[in-house]
Amino acid sequence: MPHIQAFRGLRYDLGHVGSLSDVIAPPYDVIDPALQDQLYKKHPANVIRLELNRDEPGDDATSNRYTRAARFLRNWRSEGVLQVEPDPALYVYHQVFQHQGQEYQRRGFMTRGRLERVGEGKIYPHEETHASAKQDRLLLTQACRTNISQIFGLYPDPANDAQELLEAAVAGKTPLQATDHLGVVHRLWIVTDVQTISRVAAIMDPTPMYIADGHHRYETACNYRDQLAAAGPIGDTHPANFVLTMCVSMNDPGMIVLPTHRLFRGLPPMTAGELSAKLGPYFTTRAAGHGPARGSAVWEEIEVAGEQGTLAFYTAQDDTWTLASVTPAGVARIAELAPEHSADWQSLGVALLHRLVMENLLAATNLPKPMYVHSVEEVEQGLLRGDAVGRDATGQMGQGGRFELAALVMPATVNHVQAISEHGERMPAKSTYFYPKLLSGLVFNPLE
């Protein structure tokens, strides 16, 4: 990362709000209407009123969810619900969570990270962004003049030196703690020791950063800074030159990347035999059992193999699972279909699924958006119920109807993120799902 900076964060005063668990929320892009309503009811000062204020009847250009968010923020600051840190700080942030029956702890720290335009320095994205989401976040930033939530940045640090310095600084100290709606425990410590901050900054200064999550927020921060600069010089130390960033070492043992499986509607009914005929000679295929509940065993086999080129498909027409492994001919074929991309990109499971299988071999280019889920259990439930258990690309819950095809696909790894980012490429949609999500509401970054 080119430069980090301690800052005087804005935090909830627990004397006003009581439990921190009552006022936090996940990031805006994973909040559906039901969870939004639940968070509204949880506490009158829940961060949902800033992060994702809801639309109201009669909204117009002067009174809307963005202006309401700004009003809540002003009121909470004036009432002491939110208070500014007395001294510049880095914020050590741990997340304790369960995955496949095992407890993990992901460690990182929040800081201000200096902004660079993508492609002009050492900050690398890996996902495409969408104009509508960036406009939404820009309107919120303009209204609140505050980073409400952080981006998630990965940095290489084989010995975890930066994090270990911070861990030593908070050893034996009691953290602030919140538990989210998924049962993940979030812990926060404030580090104001100047020497520790200086040593961490020295480690981070030459280090590249790979954006794991928060691409829209990062590009929005750049756009907001540029808007201010266009209106007049803002100076090199202005807070708008930075963005609230959670830094996590790529070597942290708590780094978990979940898969994003797909359930497809809109295809003509197809049997496993018909699917295999379409996949060959680019894949070797074999039947892997019958019934949605067989999905867990099929996925376990894929995970053990650990190969991006192994996919699993469920065909609803004959209730059958099929394992498919890409052949050398398949590798050559996707190179022909995606010559603009590197071999690293072409080898991704999601690239093989969408570019080779769905678009080319199945000629399925005008389907409804697939449903995205992160566990095989959700796949099995969706297939059994015939309706959606995930969200489509717009964040809306799906409508009923049979899924004709399901696909299990390996997630991209942290190493894939690094390699493909350094090629200047963006991964296909939903290639990664970094679990758990970072909370909104632990600390805010004022931009004034």
pLDDT > 70 in the chain, percent: 96
**7-48: pLDDT as tens digits:** 999 999 999 999 999 999 999 999 999 999 999 999 999 999
**110-152: pLDDT as tens digits:** 999 999 987 788 999 988 888 999 999 999 999 999 999 999 9
Q: If 0-12 CB within 10 Å is exposed, 13-18 middle and 19+ buried, where does residue 82 land?
A: buried
Cis peptide before 259 (omega within 30 of 0): no
Residues 6+ apart with CB under 8 A from 360: 333, 337
Would you say 146 and 446 are in contact if contact means Cβ atoms under 8 Å apart?
A: yes
Structure tokens at 379: 């796949």
Would you say 411 and 351 are in contact if contact means Cβ atoms under 8 Å apart?
A: no
Please state whether the predicted TM-score (pTM) of the whole model is above 0.95.
Answer: no
Would you say 24 and 38 are in contact if contact means Cβ atoms under 8 Å apart?
A: no
CA distances for 397 relative to 49, 263, 371, 433, angstroms: 22, 13, 9, 19
CA distances for 271 relative to 193, 277, 300, 405, angstroms: 64, 10, 23, 10
**367-403: pLDDT as tens digits:** 998 999 999 999 999 998 764 444 343 333 344 578 9
